[in-house]
Amino acid sequence: MNEEKLLEEFQAKIDRGEKIEPNDWMPDAYRKNLIRMMSQHAHSEIVGMLPEGNWITRAPNLRRKMILLAKIQDEAGHGLYLYSAAETLGATREEMLDALHDGRAKYSSIFNYPTLTWADMGMVGWLVDGAAMVNQVSLMGTSYGPYSRAMVRICKEEAFHNRQGYEIVATLCAGTEEQKAMAQEALNRWWFPALTMFGPKGADSVHSDQALKWQIKREDNESLRQKFINMTVPQAEARGLVIPDPNLKWNEDEKRYEYSELNWDEFFNVIKGNGPMNKERVKARKDAHDKGLWVRQAAEAYAEKRKSKVA
């Protein structure tokens, strides 16, 4: 069958809502775009462990510490599912990690901001996991089978992460004046960076048109951002928090919140590697990888030994 015919059938299969599986024919650009997006998603999960890891030893009590530890371990698990799912497309774990370590691959912009107070743990769970979940619920419908199935499981865990974050925020807001002020101050820092997690809009979202046609993505970046804002503003209001946007206004006709233009210069600067924490995050990842070499070697030696015993 020639390439044109294969492509036609591929598109028809997607349009019928059928999943593409690892051994199915797929255009090279579909494979490449998915490896890029899924590996960057996996990198975000493991780099995303770092800002929260910063607070494990300083959690305010044992219960909070146990919850935070469990959540961070979940993120490692998400990274594992996603790296494994990306491997089904022919990418190797080493290639993907090399690209993260030498700066060729991106990870979510949000993890280049520092976590300065305990209230930031609330904001990461409520806003960052909340935004991640809105995006990932949509991705459960992605056309690539292994990615779609990974998303189903990840979303269940993200829902728990989102609630534990909101519970931290709710507790601070019901506490002393200082605690409530701490929550408000954290919201002031995290609100706009959380909105840029959904990626740029219009022509700056270079991958969107083709990704939507192939149903890699099911909704564009701006629609998901708007969904997140509509969902989150009432949650802030319920706790007496003020969204730090003077232009935030409910539009009854369009049933959505209008909001200020985002600072795209800052966003592009952060994803180019110049955010407040980029260098520290990549260094921490590289150090962890180097220090884990003996574990990988031990696992390989064990696997070899088992193989020779079976043979």
Could you list the residues that contact ligand FAQ (CB under 6 A)?
36-37, 40-41, 44-45, 48, 75, 106, 108-109, 124, 128-129, 132, 135, 196-200, 205-208, 211, 217, 221, 271
Shortest distance in whole angstroms from residue 185 CB to ligand FAQ: 20
Give least dist CB 311 to ligand FAQ, A.
41
List the one residue out of 179, 159, 187, 172 whose CA is nearest residue 71: 159
Q: Which is nearer to ligand FAQ, 45 or 87 (CB)?
A: 45
Query: What is the nearest approach in angstroms of ligand FAQ to the Cβ of residue 268?
Result: 8
Specify the residue, 105 or 173, whose C-beta has the smaller distance to ligand FAQ: 105
Contact (Cβ atoms closer than 8 angstroms) between residue 60 and residue 118 = yes
CB of 201 to ligand FAQ, least distance (A): 8
Nearer to ligand FAQ, 6 or 159 (CB): 159
What are the residues facing 257 on neighbouring strands?
A: 250
Identity of residue 101: H
Residue 250 Cβ vs ligand FAQ, minimum distance, rounded to whole Å: 25
Q: Which is nearer to ligand FAQ, 10 or 165 (CB)?
A: 165
230: exposed, middle or buried (Cβ count in 10 Å: 0-12, 13-18, 19+): middle
Nearer to ligand FAQ, 64 or 217 (CB): 217
Q: Given the complex with ligand FAQ, which of 108 and 184 has the nearer CB atom? A: 108
* Minimum separation from the CB atom of position 219 to ligand FAQ (A): 9
Q: Residues with Cβ < 8 Å from 296, sequence gap 6 or more? A: none
Q: Report the residue closest to ligand FAQ, judged by CB.
A: 48
